[in-house]
Amino acid sequence: MKRALLFLSILALACGDDDTTSDPPEDASVEPDAPPTPDMGPRDYSDELAWYGEFQVGFRELEVTYTRPDGDGDRTIPYIVWYPASGEGGIHPRHAFRRAEVATVDAPPATGPFPTLAFSHGHLGVADVSTHLCEHFASHGWVVFSPTHVGNTTADGETRTADIYYLRSTDVSAALDDLEAHPDLGSLVGSPMVVSGHSFGGYTAISLAGATFDVDAILANCETNPDDPICTDLDMTAQDLLRAGLRDERFDAVISMGAGDSRRFGETGVADVEIPVLLMVAEGDGYPAGSSATDDYWNTLDEPEDLWVDLLGAGHQSFTDICATLAGFPRCPPMEYDADAGLRWTTLYALAFARSRLLDDAEATAILEGTPEDPSLEVVTR
């Protein structure tokens, strides 16, 4: 009954704008029944990247406690990890909207180090909202972790205050600190590192990449729009933290999906990002074909290796696990859209971008620069 009530609450909350995105209820429980067997037979390099890779995948649930940057005591957050494994572990974990296909709990780690991917969930979200992407990267030889942004999850409700605008970023950095020091998994964590996120998590990723906040503009907006969430408890400590920025120098690239809150960085703050950025958007978020010029993030970024990918026909939640499981969920695309294809494009372009920009993979670069393999994709380069 509690789970049913929680699900109904999500449906009620899922109709907000980009800054109030709803993700699925958290369910890290596991089930002993076997998952469907994934199709593992690549035909060309695009298929090789779009399908699961050569590694078996392990899964762990961890927790970290760290000192808040605002001096307001300690903060404890759970985070989950996928990693390349040398064999199978226990059962396949059951996530909020899907069961893992290749990952197993506590599988023996492979010999690292491996490149690393961080994932940040959206507003009202959960850490296991994009497990398809996370499990996929791990099967291709990446360590992947996703923190729960406590105070900004499905269970926490709609309200958010100024501190979540910096705590989300420090959550990611603290989880990475803890994972690097983990006795079993720390040796797997290597470079290069990518920070990714969906919706409010896309904003989080860009803040960690070095975008600078226009605090004066934020304060001016609070004078006329005091109900803006960032204005709540925006004291001098919060202002100073935002002015100082949230850059984590360990990250070498960004994958941002359906990001909101670009206005927090003012007209030029995003231009301070000096690492490659992949911006993935969906037509359902107001990006029809030919609309890259209307994207505030894209227009401000100026690195030559940046990339903009529009999933035409897709919805805001198409980048996550949700739409392939619950067709018709709020902010998913119309029923005729192939949600599984949306996940394919997400994983293909995310992994190709990471390999092209950070691992000098010429074949991956050719995918990014070539004609998209499907007319539902629009790709824009510098």
Q: What is the pLDDT of residue 22?
A: 43
Low-confidence stretches of the chain (pLDDT beneath 70): 1-42
Q: What is the pLDDT of residue 373?
A: 85
With CA atoms as reference, report the closest residue to 134 among 347, 377, 340: 347
Cβ-based neighbour number of residue 66 at 10 Å: 16
Q: What is the pLDDT of residue 43?
A: 75
Q: What is the pLDDT of residue 157?
A: 82
If DSSP states are collapsed to H, E and C, what string results for the chain?
Answer: CHHHHHHHHHHHHCCCCHHHCCCCCCCCCECCCCCCCCCCCCCCHHHHHHCCCCCEEEEEEEEEEEECCCCCCEEEEEEEEEEEECCCCCCCEECCCCECCCEEECCCECCCCEEEEEEECCCCECCCCCHHHHHHHHHCCCEEEEECCCCCEHHHCCCCCCCHHHHHHHHHHHHHHHHHCCCCCHHHEEEEEEEEEECHHHHHHHHHCCCCCCHHHHHHHHHHCCCCHHHCCCCHHHHHHHHHCCCCCCCCEEEEECCCCHHHHCCCHHHHCCCCEEEEEEHHHCCCCCCHHHCHHHHHCCCCCCEEEEECCCCHHHHCCHHHHCCCCCCCCCCCCCHHHHHHHHHHHHHHHHHHHHHCCHHHHHHHHCCCCCCCEEEEEC
Query: Distance between terminal CA atoms of the chain?
Result: 51
Give the CATH superfamily of 2-381: Alpha/Beta hydrolase fold, catalytic domain (3.40.50.1820)
Q: What is the pLDDT of residue 42?
A: 55
Burial classification of residue 5, based on how many CB atoms lie within 10 Å of its CB (0-12 exposed, 13-18 middle, 19 or more buried): exposed
Q: What is the pLDDT of residue 30?
A: 44
Q: What is the pLDDT of residue 159?
A: 85
Domain extent listing, the chain? 2-381
Phi, psi at 366, each rounded to 5°? -65, -35
